[in-house]
Structure 1
Amino acid sequence: MIDPATQAEILRLHFSEKKSQRAIAFDLELNRKTVVGVIRRRAVLDALSATTLRPSILQPFYDQIEQFLKNDPDRSAVNILQSLRLLGYTGGVSILKDYLRTCRPASEPKAFLSLEFLPGQTAQVDWGDFGDVFGIGRKVWCFVMVLCWSRLLYLEFTLSANFESFLRCHEHAFDFFGGVSHECWYDNLATAVAERRGRLVRFNPRFLVYTGTRGFRPIACNLAAGWEKGRVEDGVKYIKQNFWPGRSFADLDDLNEQALVWRDQFAGKRTHAATRKIPELSFQEEKSQLHPLREPYDCDEVRTMTVSPQFRVSFDSNEYSVPWRLVNTAVTLRANQNNVSIAYGNRCVASHDRCWKKNEAIKNLRHEDGLREEKPGAQPDADLQAIGSIGASAKQYLEFLPAQTHSLRSEIKRLMVLITVFGAEAVEAVMGKAIAGGVVGHAHLERWLDQSASIEKKPPPLTLNDSRLVLPHQTPDLRSYDSRLLEAEPSEEIQKEKAHS
């Protein structure tokens, strides 16, 4: 609809100046039908009166819409449309949106307090999404932590935003700052917040284990309250606007190397727009207020799984090989951002560089050694020969196996697994120990092998040579306490003994 001023001009030109409809349309650059409509109506309408005069399919539902908005002023047009459909409304959403603009209560402007923080008090944490940069089916995420007082920023790019990556980035950030802030503020990240009902927050129990170990208090910001963690959101925006444009990256390592240079040469040395101070210089005052770092925290991803018939284990959309003797055996996988290792008990049996692509098979050809030589149906005999060949104790051990109630096939398979994992010499030694102890069975052998492996890892006993730590203990004279209790002077005998001592 044209504005009221133009309508008034049409009426003036036609009725006062006696101009034709065609001439008015040409002069005002309007459609002739629009000019005709105004002349026939002989009245100027504003936008509100036009909608009220126009017959509307929505009009029977005005009262119900008003009630919807009274109960919930923020209710969306699409949500209201769904309710109106149940009441018989057959119109579209466009006319509903037009009407809502005229009747929805205007939200009052909100006032925000400027948050102030003490040095070392608070850090804010968030992720930035940078999309699938390398075309491998994985998003690149940027972990950002900002110290609220100095505005010093830490950033790290990863190919995963899972729980372990979340903790790993925390560790790297605290190491960069040289300490831990008293509290950290978060958005409602699933890795940190398990459940939320209004102001009631239940944090991820695994995350609370970490925060308790590191000694900081986690705080979840209110829903839809981005201003509460504006420092880190500004940090993510600053990275996207000032670091990212105009760059290319060969891989994730190259990306993080460029980010590190940019962080140290520009982000930390700039004059901050809000504080008008240089973050790196302000941090010198803040650093002393941070909690000191303790021992490193284990942030590895740990999974227990069974080796497949293809002697592989599946992890993070990829497969990693292990020695073929471990087929159908339970193993423990441990992964960080660079490596994937697989262990049987306490002994590592395979190690690979972590692959961040998807649906890849990462193999070590040595894990196939001996498999191709095995003839179909001949494996049990070959295994018996292999076990018996490692030493006299092994041959003697095998003589007792048929008399046991265990499955021979299972027992031989487990023995081959132990030889693969711990080595023939170690297995032969515990076989001799088993025979000497009068027992047979792979469970005994495995327990002794695990014990010997753990003993090797233990540090030597602590020895203290300081002479001050071995001073003889002196027994106090209890008679002095008696004299104090009786509020009397010590006896002459006690005074003489003290004088001679």
Structure 2
Amino acid sequence: MLAEPAYRRSTQPKPQLGPFSTMLEQWLAFDATLPKARRRSAQRLFESLQAEGYHGAYDSVQRHVKTWKTASSGRGTVTQAFVPLSFAAGEVGQFDWSYEHVVLGGVTQTIKLAHFRLAHSRAMFVVAYPRETQEMVLDAHDRAFAFFGGVPQKMVYDNLKTVVDAVFSGKERQFNRRFLALANHYLFEPVACTPASGWEKGQVENQVGNIREWLFTPTPHFADFAELNVWLERRCRELAERMHPNKLCRITEAWAAEQPALRPVTMPFDGYVEQPQRVSSTCLISVDRNRYSVPAAWAGKVISVRISATHVRIVAEGNAIAEHERLFGRDQLVCQPWHYVPILETKPGALRHGQPFIEWQLPLAIERVRTFLLKQPKGDRAFADLLLAARSSGLEALDVACQLASEHGQPHASVVLNELRRLTEPERSPAMAVPAVLILRNEPVADCGRYDSLLGGCHV
């Protein structure tokens, strides 16, 4: 009895993917040279093949990618086992950082992305920053809790230096004092993971990879961080329209059902980091290799610098004396000209070469007066007197005064000062009404003739 011949294929035909397999493997080989965070997923490779004319299924691409990666690694895949987790509404939130690549203002930059996740509803929130400093962590929590509409009972973290000062045995941690102020303000319990155990906050760990694939591949372009964060918030709301893993509702519906279990936010936390500094003789303080001006009265004195994610505030004797928008470059100088105006009282010559005054964009009428006065003898002193007189009223009143003075001919300093005083002098109080009880019933009559009668009795 003859055995029935068995047919075996030496190769599996791929009528759709076959013509594109070489291109796909070239892409995989190129991606293998990139950092892991920048490699394309099978889904992204599938979309790229479609742009090249591929009409086959995604599964074929996925299997080919898996086979290629397994062959190139030279080993099989080791799978860990985990227990499925369930979280009550409002019970747990998770936090993590990632770094992504974007083009801001035409320049490719590496940014830091703060990730938040509500473990029950799977609602996510991400916000971008130039770095991972503590003030960024504090600001990110303010934004996230405002976005979620409340605060969960617990927040889970890695052992970040901005969150944890010391790691002890087990789950014992010494949390940073400033971070604890944030936790006490919002009344949530901070929980730090076991080192090298990212699965303890697996949802947000998976979110990092998903957000990178969905939002940062290919590299997006934005004008600045403000535009980027507006787009990220909008995309988080759009992604919440996906189905929840339980397949019973959408994430946005589970999120709405979870919100009553979140603790309401009554007041945002003022997330700043404070440090004392001595003001230099040039009225400057330094933050991250950038310099910011301080009112001249505080030169040489110790003040407190409060650094937030977006601003630098200077506080002295319990009062805010200056505030600047924070810069993230290096060796930049931010000068508020009004901080230096009092110095002009003794050093009027600084008007010509002082950097705060050279870069000061004055209204057109004031600039014309300045040009006219600086051509006159002692013009520095004259224009300095105008600025000193306008400290309380501001540039708007001085601008109007300069316009009025120009209408009368040459805008001399005395004319401008006169117009400025007329504009800024307090209004005269109206005549006081006399109460009826104080009005005389019989008012005295003035009789000047009595003085004339005295002339008749004069003796020479």
How does the TM-score come out when normalised to structure 1?
Answer: 0.50
For 1:153, the equivalent position in structure 2 comes to 124
DSSP-derived class of the 2:243 partner: coil
DSSP-derived class of the 1:174 partner: helix
Verify: 1:197 aligned to 2:198, yes or no: no
User: Once the 2 structures are TM-superposed, how far is the Cα of residue 343 of structure 1 from its aligned partner?
Assistant: 3.0
Verify: 1:179 aligned to 2:153, yes or no: no
DSSP-derived class of the 2:304 partner: strand
**Distance in 1 separating the partners of 2:248 and 2:117:** 16
**Distance in 1 separating the partners of 2:321 and 2:188:** 37
Q: Out of 92, 96, 103, which is 1:126 matched to? A: 96
User: Once the 2 structures are TM-superposed, how far is the Cα of residue 205 of structure 1 from its aligned partner?
Assistant: 3.1
Please show how residues 234-249 of structure 1 align to structure 2 within 5 Å. Answer: 234-246=206-218, 247-249=220-222
For 1:13, the equivalent position in structure 2 comes to none
* Aligned-partner residue type, residue 204 of structure 1: N
**Distance in 1 separating the partners of 2:286 and 2:320:** 17
User: Once the 2 structures are TM-superposed, how far is the Cα of residue 196 of structure 1 from its aligned partner?
Assistant: 1.5
For 2:268, the equivalent position in structure 1 comes to 296
Instruction: Go from structure 1 to structure 2 and tell me whether the alpha carbon gap of 1:308 and 1:280 turns closer, same or farther (over 3 Å shift).
Output: same
* Aligned-partner residue type, residue 287 of structure 1: Q
For 1:114, the equivalent position in structure 2 comes to 84
Verify: 1:170 aligned to 2:117, yes or no: no
User: Once the 2 structures are TM-superposed, how far is the Cα of residue 373 of structure 1 from its aligned partner?
Assistant: 5.8
Greater C-alpha radius of gyration: 1
**Distance in 2 separating the partners of 1:353 and 1:364:** 11
Query: Contact 1:314–1:320 at 8 Å: present in 2 too?
Result: yes
For 1:210, the equivalent position in structure 2 comes to 182
Instruction: Go from structure 1 to structure 2 and tell me whether the alpha carbon gap of 1:284 and 1:145 turns closer, same or farther (over 3 Å shift).
Output: same
**Distance in 1 separating the partners of 2:223 and 2:174:** 41
Query: Contact 1:271–1:277 at 8 Å: present in 2 too?
Result: yes
User: Once the 2 structures are TM-superposed, how far is the Cα of residue 249 of structure 1 from its aligned partner?
Assistant: 1.2
User: Once the 2 structures are TM-superposed, how far is the Cα of residue 360 of structure 1 from its aligned partner?
Assistant: 0.6
User: Once the 2 structures are TM-superposed, how far is the Cα of residue 202 of structure 1 from its aligned partner?
Assistant: 2.4
* Aligned-partner residue type, residue 153 of structure 1: M
Instruction: Go from structure 1 to structure 2 and tell me whether the alpha carbon gap of 1:304 and 1:253 turns closer, same or farther (over 3 Å shift).
Output: same
1:214-268 per-position Cα deviation (integer Å, ceiling 9, x unaligned): 221111111221222110011111111001123211111111111122112x211
**Distance in 2 separating the partners of 1:147 and 1:255:** 22
DSSP-derived class of the 1:176 partner: helix
* Aligned-partner residue type, residue 152 of structure 1: A
Please show how residues 45-124 of structure 1 align to structure 2 within 5 Å. Answer: 110-124=80-94
How does the TM-score come out when normalised to structure 2?
Answer: 0.54
For 1:357, the equivalent position in structure 2 comes to 329
**Distance in 2 separating the partners of 1:242 and 1:276:** 23
1:111-150 per-position Cα deviation (integer Å, ceiling 9, x unaligned): 3111211111111111111258549998521111100111
DSSP-derived class of the 1:149 partner: coil
User: Once the 2 structures are TM-superposed, how far is the Cα of residue 370 of structure 1 from its aligned partner?
Assistant: 4.7
For 2:111, the equivalent position in structure 1 comes to 140
Deviates more, 1:191-200 or 1:113-122: 191-200
**Distance in 2 separating the partners of 1:204 and 1:263:** 30
* Aligned-partner residue type, residue 209 of structure 1: A
Q: Out of 205, 209, 214, which is 1:233 matched to? A: 205
Query: Percent identity over the alignment?
Result: 29
1:21-64 per-position Cα deviation (integer Å, ceiling 9, x unaligned): xxxxxxxxxxxxxxxxxxxxxxxxxxxxxxxxxxxxxxxxxxxx
Q: Out of 324, 346, 352, which is 2:318 matched to? A: 346
* Aligned-partner residue type, residue 227 of structure 1: W
Please show how residues 249-328 of structure 1 align to structure 2 within 5 Å. Answer: 249-264=222-237, 266-272=238-244, 277-328=249-300
DSSP-derived class of the 1:218 partner: strand
**Distance in 2 separating the partners of 1:222 and 1:371:** 57
**Distance in 2 separating the partners of 1:132 and 1:365:** 35
1:186-216 per-position Cα deviation (integer Å, ceiling 9, x unaligned): 1111122222134132222332232233221
Deviates more, 1:323-332 or 1:187-196: 323-332
* Aligned-partner residue type, residue 136 of structure 2: S
Verify: 1:188 aligned to 2:154, yes or no: no
For 1:18, the equivalent position in structure 2 comes to none
**Distance in 2 separating the partners of 1:336 and 1:108:** 44
**Distance in 2 separating the partners of 1:361 and 1:197:** 43
**Distance in 2 separating the partners of 1:191 and 1:223:** 15
Instruction: Go from structure 1 to structure 2 and tell me whether the alpha carbon gap of 1:369 and 1:213 turns closer, same or farther (over 3 Å shift).
Output: closer
CA RMSD of aligned residues (A): 3.1
Query: Contact 1:133–1:140 at 8 Å: present in 2 too?
Result: no
DSSP-derived class of the 1:140 partner: strand
Query: Contact 2:156–2:191 at 8 Å: present in 1 too?
Result: yes
Query: Contact 2:138–2:272 at 8 Å: present in 1 too?
Result: no
1:329-371 per-position Cα deviation (integer Å, ceiling 9, x unaligned): 1222233333323233234332322212222111122323253
DSSP-derived class of the 1:371 partner: helix
Instruction: Go from structure 1 to structure 2 and tell me whether the alpha carbon gap of 1:250 and 1:181 turns closer, same or farther (over 3 Å shift).
Output: same
Number of residues of Structure 1 aligned to a counterpart in Structure 2: 275
For 2:415, the equivalent position in structure 1 comes to none
Query: Contact 2:100–2:216 at 8 Å: present in 1 too?
Result: no
Please show how residues 375-386 of structure 1 align to structure 2 within 5 Å. Answer: none
* Aligned-partner residue type, residue 165 of structure 2: A
* Aligned-partner residue type, residue 86 of structure 2: E
User: Once the 2 structures are TM-superposed, how far is the Cα of residue 325 of structure 1 from its aligned partner?
Assistant: 3.5
* Aligned-partner residue type, residue 163 of structure 2: A
User: Once the 2 structures are TM-superposed, how far is the Cα of residue 321 of structure 1 from its aligned partner?
Assistant: 1.0
Instruction: Go from structure 1 to structure 2 and tell me whether the alpha carbon gap of 1:337 and 1:181 turns closer, same or farther (over 3 Å shift).
Output: same
Unaligned runs of 5+ in 1: 1-100, 102-106, 377-418, 424-501
Please show how residues 459-470 of structure 1 align to structure 2 within 5 Å. Answer: none
Deviates more, 1:201-210 or 1:135-144: 135-144
Deviates more, 1:245-254 or 1:276-285: 276-285
DSSP-derived class of the 2:267 partner: coil
**Distance in 1 separating the partners of 2:299 and 2:109:** 30
DSSP-derived class of the 1:296 partner: coil
* Aligned-partner residue type, residue 288 of structure 2: D
Query: Contact 2:157–2:193 at 8 Å: present in 1 too?
Result: yes
Query: Contact 1:137–1:357 at 8 Å: present in 2 too?
Result: no
Unaligned runs of 5+ in 2: 1-73, 349-387, 393-460
**Distance in 1 separating the partners of 2:197 and 2:307:** 36
